[in-house]
Amino acid sequence: MTLIAKLNDKRLRSVQSFSVYFLLMFAALFSFYGCQTRKPAGPIVKVIDQQQHKDFLFNQQSLLFSSRFPTARLNRVAQQNDSTFVLDILAENVPINPSPWYAFKIWSSVKRNIYITLHYPDFKHRYDPKQRTDFTSWQPVAAVKVSSNGNDASFKLQVAPDTITVAGQELISSADSYRWMDTIAKLPFIKEQVAGKSLQGKPIQVLNTTGSAGKKIIAVLSRQHPPEVTGYMAMQEFIRTTLGSSDLAVAFRKEFELVIVPMINPDGVDGGNWRHSAAGVDLNRDWTDFKQPETSAVRDYMVKLVKQQQAKVYFAIDFHSTFYDVFYINQLQDPNSSNKPGFTNQWLAAMRQAIPGFKPNIKPSGNGGDVSKSWFSRALQAEAITYEVGDETPRDQLKLKGRVAAEQMMKLLLKP
């Protein structure tokens, strides 16, 4: 072999060796990164204002504002003079739905009048203040004046050694909800389970009725958004009615299994958040990607239950609150894709007939969205609805609507 041929042969073997080395290295890197991408993705967590739960003392410690309790929201207190105070109310993060929630306690060593301004730097006042002491029920604060731009709400309070709680709505913490669920779980036909944990480790509890064949399911959800207390109260009345001792309720539970998730966002509720979870995320915009443990827990539980019991979800109702009563329904391209075609419209018509003067405010939308009603429709073929209860709906009226909603649902679903 000539010298040139030997050199060419050497170069060829070198290139071949390098090629093999490169391929081996590429395969190793691909394997490493491939394994990395197959690991389960954690929840998306946004930066939020973890407000300090603290006491604000004034006037030689004779006057105290406090946010040291679950559901509280009070970011700063500035004293203008001996009796006038400006309270900053800030969102957990932005962008956010304008639901400026607040809750705080006031104590004074002596009875006196003080003047309070709730200040929202970038948002408008929404919830008119309510007050109570440990010995009284919730009452509206009188003579609230809202500024022309909506950023401030001012009112007078008479404070005293009996601590006053002031809040945008009645306070219902996760502990309150768990106690309510535990009470219901004492019923002989109720099974209480944990579907999963929130980001901060609180249980996402589920109540199931027993006694039916488990083939027909009704899902009831609530409290994805922390301040939406009126929706939660309507849900409670809905549940009391379906779990009652009436002939209608007893017959219904023999045919249908109720799956109830009363508190989907316990972290956000206890944190005094306006809208979001502890991750700074709107949970009712996570029903497509399921990046949060709370929504994932509910989804996984429902999918597993349906599969295990070879069941169908006939109806799903998610209770919320907004400025006024509204029913968001799914507008299906193929109505026959539902497990109970036409049920939602029949139910709303029955409610209208049953409540004198009641005209449901109905807003259809497609089921391609990222809210719970869309997922229940797409994934489980359920008739599904978001029921928004008005912020200032009289409490006797929201209870009436919750009760009638349950009664008409049961009557329609039991029809042959």
pLDDT at position 174 is 98
Closest CA to 142 of 127, 132, 157: 157
pLDDT at position 198 is 98
The answer to whether the CB of 302 falls within 8 A of the CB of 260 is no
Bridge partners, residue 79, by sequence: 85
Residue found by looking up tokens 């539902």 in the block: 338
Q: What is the token pair recorded at 408? A: 């008409």
**Phi, psi (degrees; rounded to nearest 5) at 226:** -55, -50
The answer to whether the CB of 240 falls within 8 A of the CB of 201 is no
pLDDT at position 51 is 84
Which runs of E-coded beta strand occur in 25-147?
Answer: 55-58, 63-66, 76-79, 84-88, 103-108, 112-119, 130-132, 139-140, 145-146
Identity of residue 130: K
Q: What is the token pair recorded at 169? A: 């709505």
| DSSP-based three-state secondary structure for 400 | helix
Within 13 Å and on the Cβ side, how many CA atoms surround 342? 3
Domains of the chain in start order, with CATH, are 55-167 (2.60.40.3120), 174-414 (3.40.630.10)
| DSSP-based three-state secondary structure for 267 | helix
Q: pTM of this prediction?
A: 0.89
| DSSP-based three-state secondary structure for 268 | helix
pLDDT at position 21 is 41
pLDDT at position 214 is 98
Identity of residue 385: I
The answer to whether the CB of 129 falls within 8 A of the CB of 140 is yes
Cα dihedral 90, 92, 97, 99 in deg (nearest 10): -50
Residues 6+ apart with CB under 8 A from 271: 50, 51, 92, 226, 278
The answer to whether the CB of 113 falls within 8 A of the CB of 158 is yes
Can you spell out the DSSP letters for 183-194?
HHHTSTTEEEEE
Closest CA to 226 of 134, 302, 320: 320
The answer to whether the CB of 267 falls within 8 A of the CB of 197 is no
Q: What is the token pair recorded at 154? A: 């001012």
Per-residue pLDDT of the chain (416 residues; tens, 9 = 90+): 443 343 344 444 444 444 434 344 434 433 333 333 333 457 889 989 778 899 999 999 999 999 999 999 999 999 999 999 999 999 999 999 999 999 999 999 999 999 999 999 999 999 999 999 988 999 999 999 999 999 999 999 999 999 999 999 999 999 999 999 999 999 999 999 999 999 999 999 999 999 999 999 999 999 999 999 999 999 999 999 999 999 999 999 999 999 999 999 999 999 999 999 999 999 999 999 999 999 999 999 999 999 999 999 999 999 999 999 999 999 987 888 999 999 999 999 999 999 999 999 999 998 889 999 999 999 999 999 999 999 999 999 999 999 999 999 999 999 98
pLDDT at position 369 is 92
pLDDT at position 41 is 59
Using N-to-C axis directions, what is the helix angle for 343-354 and 395-414, rounded to 10°? 130
- Number of Cβ within a 10 Å radius of residue 390: 19
pLDDT at position 130 is 98
β-pair type (326-330, 383-390) = antiparallel
Angle at 89 between CA 87 and CA 95, to 5 degrees: 160
What is the rounded CA–CA span in Å between residue 183 and residue 11? 82
